[in-house]
């Protein structure tokens, strides 16, 4: 049997050769240019970093290791994590071995719970998640081995150890945060036999729900949010921090600090808050006219429509479509889901009327919260934590690949406004 370490050892030799050949052949070619507007505009569209785990063409949405997300919606998070790391889906034996690697690492030390339980009762769940990851940093294999003089070509192995430990523990931490923060009773211990999704659902300890159906939703949720190429706020932050050889406990919690912003992963919380406000005002079945009115009220008050628009995408997000399909087949009559679907009929047409908005279509956050709400997770400040459980797969995989490829210190050049003023004149 071949472990994930053996599989990657073989692949990395090839990947390193390929990279050297690319740089040797075309190292001086111009990949992208930067206009003054792009320098002032958050570097949109400037191709200047390498990310091999996934890509997001603007007319297609997420493609993981050259497989479109839509073809992966029936997979498990373990399969997706293996794919992100190795560029191949696992066969049956590889999956069994890889799943066991993860299962054996899922136990969370008591000191993490002590810290979480002593945090202020009104801490945001994302603050609790990032605190827990930082508290765990003392377990970093990378940091210990680095102090012991680890060789550069072995950095990826220590990073992979950290990645497996983090991905295995984060569902337990996330479930524990749910129970502590929202007074749901004692923390529920992991079940040694369960897979990542099943155990997360088990440890959340939701009451009377259709467990099988919720399990399937959670599997879909953890697959759909796993990665979104390398330039978004959380991925770029993770890359930058990790490039200083800060281990992935530091870089992942830093990336998740960015995910906690309302223009990024917190949009799912904002979106459900907005939908509940709409329903409070107009009842369970707001008409299209009422929805148009609320869209314009929101825009005119200077706020964004949460869950709509994207920095890269120019079509409906396939992740949104995945959730829409799930809702249609499992709870088409749910009033919140109905409002989500009706908003999809109304919002894009209205946003198209606002010239500056480049993408009027929904992103993943427009539907994801309504799914969790249906199964009883009504505390919407928790939603970004579920996003983060999934995104830990992509961000840790990106870090392993970057260390394997001896990724450089990230250090773009900044210029002053005075410099640009003189440059343009």
Kindly list the catalytic residues: 264, 310, 365
Q: Is 95 in the site for ligand CMX (CB under 6 A)?
A: no
**CA separation (Å) from 379 to 53, 178, 182, 216, 373?**
32, 9, 8, 20, 8
Stretch that binds ligand CMX, among 121-129, 204-212, 306-314, 410-418 (CB under 6 A): 306-314
Q: Is 319 in the site for ligand CMX (CB under 6 A)?
A: no
**What is the rounded CA–CA span in Å between residue 164 and residue 279?**
42
Find the angle CA(157)-CA(177)-CA(122) to the nearest 5 degrees: 130
Return phi, psi of residue 308, to 5°: -125, 145
**What is the rounded CA–CA span in Å between residue 71 and residue 86?**
18
Residue 306 or 327: which CB sits closer to ligand CMX?
306
**What is the rounded CA–CA span in Å between residue 100 and residue 38?**
46
Residue 106 or 310: which CB sits closer to ligand CMX?
310
Question: Which runs of consecutive H residues, i.e. helices, occur in 196-232?
Answer: 196-204, 211-224
Q: Is 264 in the site for ligand CMX (CB under 6 A)?
A: yes
Residue 55 or 145: which CB sits closer to ligand CMX?
55
Length of the chain: 425
Q: Is 46 in the site for ligand CMX (CB under 6 A)?
A: no
Q: Is 300 in the site for ligand CMX (CB under 6 A)?
A: no
Q: How far is the CB of 295 from ligand CMX (least distance, A)?
A: 9
Q: Is 110 in the site for ligand CMX (CB under 6 A)?
A: no
Return phi, psi of residue 372, to 5°: -65, -40
Quick one: how far is CA 406 from the chain centroid? 24
Stretch that binds ligand CMX, among 8-16, 65-73, 77-85, 309-317 (CB under 6 A): 309-317
Residue 363 or 370: which CB sits closer to ligand CMX?
363
Stretch that binds ligand CMX, among 149-157, 237-245, 275-283, 303-311 (CB under 6 A): 303-311
Q: Is 206 in the site for ligand CMX (CB under 6 A)?
A: no
Q: How far is the CB of 169 from ligand CMX (least distance, A)?
A: 23
Q: How far is the CB of 212 from ligand CMX (least distance, A)?
A: 28
**What is the rounded CA–CA span in Å between residue 65 and residue 54?**
5
**What is the rounded CA–CA span in Å between residue 77 and residue 75?**
7
**What is the rounded CA–CA span in Å between residue 383 and residue 370?**
10
Q: How far is the CB of 80 from ligand CMX (least distance, A)?
A: 18
**What is the rounded CA–CA span in Å between residue 85 and residue 12?**
11
Look at residue 158 and give its three-state secondary structure: helix
**What is the rounded CA–CA span in Å between residue 206 and residue 402?**
38
Q: How far is the CB of 293 from ligand CMX (least distance, A)?
A: 16
Among 169, 310, 391, 403, interactor with ligand CMX by CB under 6 A:
310
Residue 145 or 310: which CB sits closer to ligand CMX?
310
Residue 221's contacts (CB-CB under 8 Å, 6 or more residues apart) are 368, 371, 372, 386, 390
Residues within window 353-412 making contact with ligand CMX, judged by CB under 6 A = 356-359, 363, 365
The dihedral formed by the CA atoms of 22, 23, 27 and 29, expressed in degrees to the nearest 10: 10
Residues within window 119-178 making contact with ligand CMX, judged by CB under 6 A = none
Residue 99 or 368: which CB sits closer to ligand CMX?
368
Size of the site for ligand CMX (CB under 6 A): 20
Q: Is 39 in the site for ligand CMX (CB under 6 A)?
A: no
* 54-55 and 63-64 beta bridge pairing: antiparallel
Stretch that binds ligand CMX, among 52-60, 159-167, 263-271, 325-333 (CB under 6 A): 263-271
Return phi, psi of residue 368, to 5°: -60, -40
Q: Is 350 in the site for ligand CMX (CB under 6 A)?
A: no
Residues within window 209-248 making contact with ligand CMX, judged by CB under 6 A = 232
Q: Which residue is nearest to ligand CMX (CB)?
A: 309
Binding footprint of ligand CMX on the chain (CB under 6 A): 232, 263-265, 267, 299, 304-311, 356-359, 363, 365
């Amino acid at each position: 049997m071949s472990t994930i370490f053996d599989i990657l050892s073989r692949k990395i030799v090839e990947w390193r050769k390929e990279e050297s050949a690319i740089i040797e052949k075309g190292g001086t070619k111009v990949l992208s240019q930067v206009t003054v507007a792009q320098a002032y505009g958050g570097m949109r569209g400037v191709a200047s970093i390498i990310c091999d785990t996934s890509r997001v063409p603007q007319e297609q949405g997420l493609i993981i290791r050259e497989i479109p997300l839509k073809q992966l919606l029936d997979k498990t998070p373990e399969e997706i994590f293996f794919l992100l790391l190795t560029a191949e889906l696992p066969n049956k034996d590889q999956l069994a071995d890889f799943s066991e690697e993860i299962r054996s690492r899922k136990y969370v030390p008591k000191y993490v719970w002590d810290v979480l339980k002593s945090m202020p009762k009104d801490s945001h769940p994302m603050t609790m998640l990032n605190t827990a990851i930082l508290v765990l940093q003392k377990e970093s294999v990378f940091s210990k081995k680095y102090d012991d003089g680890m060789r550069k070509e072995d950095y990826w192995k220590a990073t992979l150890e950290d990645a497996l430990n983090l991905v295995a523990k984060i569902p337990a931490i996330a479930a524990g945060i749910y129970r502590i923060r929202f007074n749901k009773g004692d923390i529920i211990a992991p079940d040694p036999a369960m897979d990542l999704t099943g155990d997360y659902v088990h440890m959340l300890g939701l009451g009377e729900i259709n467990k099988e159906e919720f399990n399937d939703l959670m599997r879909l949720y953890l697959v759909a949010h796993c990665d979104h190429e390398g330039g978004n706020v959380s991925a770029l932050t993770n890359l930058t921090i990790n490039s200083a050889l800060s281990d992935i406990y530091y870089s992942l919690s830093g990336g998740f600090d960015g995910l906690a912003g309302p223009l990024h992963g917190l949009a799912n919380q904002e979106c459900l808050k907005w939908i509940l406000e709409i329903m409070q005002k107009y009842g369970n079945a707001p008409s299209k006219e009422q929805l148009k009115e609320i869209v314009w009220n929101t825009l005119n008050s200077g706020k964004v429509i949460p869950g709509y628009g994207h920095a890269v995408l120019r079509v409906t997000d396939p992740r949104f479509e995945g959730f829409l399909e799930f809702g249609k087949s499992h709870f088409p009559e749910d009033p919140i889901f109905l409002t989500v679907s009706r908003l999809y009929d109304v919002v894009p047409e209205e946003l198209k009327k606002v010239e500056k908005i480049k993408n009027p279509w929904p992103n993943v956050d427009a539907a994801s919260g309504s799914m969790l709400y249906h199964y009883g997770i009504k505390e919407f400040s928790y939603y970004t934590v579920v996003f983060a459980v999934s995104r830990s797969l992509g961000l840790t995989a990106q870090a392993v690949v970057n260390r394997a490829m001896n990724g450089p210190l990230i250090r773009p050049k900044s210029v002053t406004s005075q410099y640009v003023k003189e440059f343009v004149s």
